[in-house]
């Protein structure tokens, strides 16, 4: 479960209410109040504020080289966009290359 993030929600990331997707998510606000509204399971919900909203996890992207336990370190961007780029950057002691698109955000490797 990923904590609700209003900035991500307004940017179009998927919002969840329990196990149901919130579609057509909107925020209405004035100087004194803010109300979250949306469609949940085909029904319009005019006040999602009191509900338990979370963000749906995004799938990872790119490829990551893995090396034997020499301690962990990361370059500013350890992932490569293609497996070919990952292979090109690989050192001789690489033990695997992970396709991050197979894992959702928050998944432990």
Domain boundaries, the chain: 2-55, 63-102
The SS3 of residue 9 is: helix
The better pLDDT of the pair 11, 105 is held by 11
- Which pLDDT score is estimated for 14? 93
- CA distance linking residue 76 with residue 51, whole number of Å: 38
Does 73 score more than 70 pLDDT? no
- CA distance linking residue 47 with residue 35, whole number of Å: 6
- CA distance linking residue 90 with residue 8, whole number of Å: 33
Percent residues over pLDDT 70 in the chain = 88
Q: Please, which residues have CB within 8 angstroms of residue 20's CB and are 6 or more apart in sequence?
A: 40, 41
End-to-end CA distance of the chain: 16
* Helix, strand, coil distribution of the chain in percent, nearest 5: 15, 35, 50
Q: Please, which residues have CB within 8 angstroms of residue 105's CB and are 6 or more apart in sequence?
A: 2, 57, 58, 59, 60
What is this structure's pTM? Answer: 0.64
């Amino acid at each position: 479960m990923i904590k609700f993030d209003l900035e991500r929600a307004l940017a179009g990331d998927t919002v969840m209410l329990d196990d149901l997707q919130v579609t057509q998510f909107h925020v209405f606000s004035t100087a004194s109040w803010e109300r979250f509204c949306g469609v949940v399971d085909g029904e319009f919900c005019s006040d999602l504020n009191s509900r338990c909203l979370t963000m749906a996890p995004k799938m990872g992207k790119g490829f990551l080289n893995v090396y034997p336990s020499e301690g962990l370190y990361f370059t500013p961007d350890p992932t490569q966009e293609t497996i070919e780029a990952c292979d090109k950057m690989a050192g001789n002691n690489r033990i695997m290359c992970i396709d991050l698109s197979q894992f959702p955000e928050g998944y432990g490797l």
